Structure formats: structure tokens, C-alpha cells
Chains A and B, each alone.
Chain A
Amino acid sequence: MSQLKTKHLLGIKNLDREDIELIFQTADTFKDVINRPIKKVPSLRDVTIANIFFENSTRTKLSFELAEKRLSADVINFSASGSSVKKGETLLDTVNNILAMKVDMVVMRHSSPGAPHFLANHIDANIINAGDGTHEHPTQAILDAFSIREKLGGVKGKKVVIVGDILHSRVALSNIFALQMLGAEVMVCGPATLIPRHIGELGVLVENDIKAALEWCDVANVLRIQLERQQMRYFPSLREYSKYFGVNRALVDSLKKQIVIMHPGPINRGVEITSDVADSEHSVILQQVENGVAIRMAVLYLLAGKP
């Protein structure tokens, strides 16, 4: 099998284990390509891709754009600020206007969960979800799993704890689906107010003590506190959050074993993670960014290759 079973990448929920393995294998060859002196291949030479970002992004947007350019696609960028969206245009009208200019694929980030699924029902182009509200962020989850596979030799049987703001995190949800699909055990850890009440039904463990969580895991994926999504106060202060849930050097050094530290970015240094951990030998944060380009190249290549 050498093609994905789906035409769009809307979420991990729409993939299966074979799909993710195929993305991994394809990303292996692309990782090779981006480490050559000449980092470009001509595969997507006649493909036009629109990056439509209704929400801010640095890493994901740059990573997608770089992946598209390394595959020789033509790229157009659109961000909601300074566009007709501000004048009252609907999502479907905006996208249809962009597609009328003969665009083959759409990479979209939107603040509303389900926005890419809605588009997929109405338009023909391949759609890649680059984050929809608090719902899913599939490419991030695949690159996180890919980084674990690279660092530890596999994902199956590994214990991964996701620390922080689970309630508002699309990265957490996609990670849970992807890691479980690949046979890892998943735990979430954070203040009770930031953990969705029935998350245990997804088959994940819940822990409120950071020390116990880190003691249990092989990999800790530390998430950012998403203040911009928090309509009310979920904890008294950032200082208190940092005291009880921040990952710092003393905590990591007190563990009986070595663990791998991950963070999807952007980092709030000194809040969820201290600099001496983020920049330590345990951390694979920058490898995650590198792998992000290879994973996105693989996804674009596999989706574009479907007639």
C-alpha cells in the first residue's frame, strides 16, 4: 500500500495506523532530502497550494510553507487580518474565491473546531487541517510521534505524559489519538480545572501530581498555557502554575531515569518549562521542528499524488 485512504487530512480520527506508518516512511526519505546540499525536489511542480490562516501561527505556517517550497509547489499565503474576512465575507465565499484562481490544495488554520470538515463537504481541493480551534492539529501529532520514534526507536509500548492545558489544546487531543493508534500508553497531567472532566473515557490516565507523572513516563510533552483561549481564570496565577506544574531542572534531575522532553512551541520560558530543561540534552524540541518539515512534505506529497 502506498497511498493514504483519505483525500483530506482533517484529523487523526480520519486516519488509521497504516496511514500513519506510510507518512512516517515517506517522511524518512524527505528528511534525507532536506539534509542534502540541494534541498529541493520537483514533485509538486504543477500544484498550487493556498495557506489560509485565520489564526496566528509562526512555526506551523513557516513549516508548511517551507515544505511546499521544498516540493516545488506554487504557494499563496492568506491571513485573516487585513483581508475581506474583516469586511464580513463568509468562510465558504473566501475559500471559493481562492479556489476560483485554480488552487489544488488548501492548508487551513481556523479558530472554530470543525471548520476544515465543513469545507471538505463543500469544495473539491485537498484540505489539510493546520489546527481547528481546540479540536485537532494532526500534523503536529504525527511529527511528535515521529520524533518519539526517532529518539526511542519506536512508539509502541512507550509511556507518554502530556502536561499542561489539556482543556484548550488541540495538540493534546490529536496526540492522544495518534499515540494510542500506534500502541503507546498516554497520561495527561495538569490542574484539575484544565483537564476535561470525562477524558478518562478516551483511555488515558489522569494524574494531578507532576512528579508522579514524570516518574511514570518515558516522554513528557509539555504544553503551553493558552491564555488567549481562557475566558475565565482556571488557576490563581502563572507563578502558582509554574510552582506546581512547571517542569524544571531540579524536578528532572530528581527522577530515577532519563526522560525525553518535548514541547510543540511556542514556549513560555519560566512558566510551563524552565530554560535549563528546554535547552538540555533531554529536550528534542528543535528536532521536532526539523521533523515538522519532513512530515508536512510527506503529507502534501501523499495527498497530492491521489488523482
Chain B
Amino acid sequence: MQKRLLLDGRSLQVTISRLCQQLIENHGDFSNSVIIGLQPRGKALAQRMVMRLQEMTGKQLPIGFLDTTFHRDDFRRREEPLQASKTEIPFLIEGKKVILIDDVLFTGRSVRAALDAMTSFGRPAKVELLILVDRLYSRHVPVEATYVGKRVNTLDTQKVLVEWSENKKVDNVWLINKEE
């Protein structure tokens, strides 16, 4: 299996700090902002972002996790049903500025499902999308991220893998060729 390193632990740190700066620039004191990580793989990034933002601003942002399984448009079209993760949103998003966070933006279908799933928790004032790795030219729906960590050109046969030190000891972002 061929692997190419896109981001190592150090550059990931730098990227996360930059994304936090961008959020601070747009959200000021975050008085009306909440962070929602997409289950399962956006959760770790959302937690990192909240930690880093707290170091930088001294504020603890409300954080929730959203599972989109039941809102996906490929149910009954794939080999087997997807197993859902837990949705934990301990606040109402009515009138809030929501920052959706996921690790990789590929076809855009998960984000479409997330926008749909979010309506169960109220009508947000605004929704932004923050993505660690944006795979360019591969969208199936017209969805674009507001904040991007890194843009990469990839093939359909490749896969982007994000490893977090929480479960993999070190932070690394890989581009993997799937065929081998």
C-alpha cells in the first residue's frame, strides 16, 4: 500500500492554530457561536479545535457531535446499513452561528446530510463549514467549506486518512492509494 504524508504532527499543529485564528477573526468573542463535529471522524478535530481555542481566547465553546446516518441519501443503495454513532448536542442551535467540523471534504454528501440532520435541533442563524483536508474537484453536490486546512488534488481511487494521537499515538494525515 502506497502512502504519502500530507501533514505531520507539527504541521497539523500549525494548521489547527491558523484555523483557530481565522475563526477568531470572524467570530470575535464567540458569544453566539457553537461547534458541531460530524460523527464519527470529525469528532476528534472538533475537540482539538475547542481545546486550542480555549488556550487562545480563554473561552470554553459549546461543543456537540452530530450523527448523520439516518439522513444519508444512500440508505438501501449500499451493501449494508451503516451503524449510527451517538448524537450529543446538549444545546439548541436556534439562532446560533454553527461551525460544522469534519476531517475530510470529498463528495459533499455527508455535509448535505448534516445540514438536513441539523434541522432537528432548530434553525441556526448561520452555518459555516470547517474542513481539515479538502479533496478538490470531487464534489457530487455544490458544497464548499468556509475554512480549509489543506487543499489537495486526489484521484477517486485514493483515500485520505487522518490519524489522531488520541488513538494512534501520533498525529498524521496520509494520502493512500487504495488499489494496492
Contacts and interface: CB of A to CB of B under 8 A. Distances in A.
Contacts of A302: 81
B179 interface: no
18 contacts: A2-B82, A25-B83, A28-B86, A29-B85, A32-B87, A33-B87, A38-B121, A40-B120, A41-B117, A42-B116, A43-B71, A43-B75, A302-B81, A304-B75, A304-B76, A306-B80, A307-B77, A307-B78
B147 interface: no
Contacts of B84: 26, 29
B103 interface: no
Query: What's the dominant secondary structure at chain B's contact region?
Result: loop
Interface of B: 67, 69-71, 75-87, 116-117, 119-121
Given A2-B82, A306-B81, A46 B70 contact: no
A38 B120 contact: yes
A41 B83 CA distance: 15
Contacts of B120: 36-38, 40-41
Give the residue among A25, A28, A32, A43 with the most B Cβ atoms within 10 A. A43
B81 A2 contact: yes
A29 B67 contact: yes
Contacts of A2: 80-83
Given A38-B119, A42-B70, A307 B79 contact: yes
Given A36-B121, A38-B121, 15 more contacts: A3-B80, A3-B81, A26-B84, A29-B69, A29-B84, A29-B86, A36-B120, A41-B71, A42-B116, A46-B76, A304-B76, A305-B75, A305-B76, A306-B81, A307-B76
A177 interface: no
B86 to A, nearest CB: 7
Nearest to A38: B120
Contacts, number: 58
Interface residues of A, number: 25
A124 B82 CA distance: 23
Interface string A15-42: 0000000000110110011001110111
A-B pairs, 5 with minimum CB distance: A305-B81, A41-B70, A3-B80, A38-B120, A2-B83
B125 to A, nearest CB: 18
Contacts of B79: 307
A32 B86 contact: yes
Contacts of A42: 70-71, 116
A146 interface: no
Given A32-B87, A38-B120, A43-B75, A305 B80 contact: yes
A21 to B, nearest CB: 12
A245 interface: no
Nearest to A39: B120
Contacts of A38: 119-121
A247 to B, nearest CB: 37
A2 B85 CA distance: 12
Nearest to A40: B120
A33 B70 contact: yes
A301 interface: yes
Nearest to A22: B83
Nearest to B72: A43
Contacts of B87: 29, 32-33
Contacts of A36: 120-121
A43 B70 contact: yes
A26 B67 CA distance: 13
Contacts of A33: 70, 87
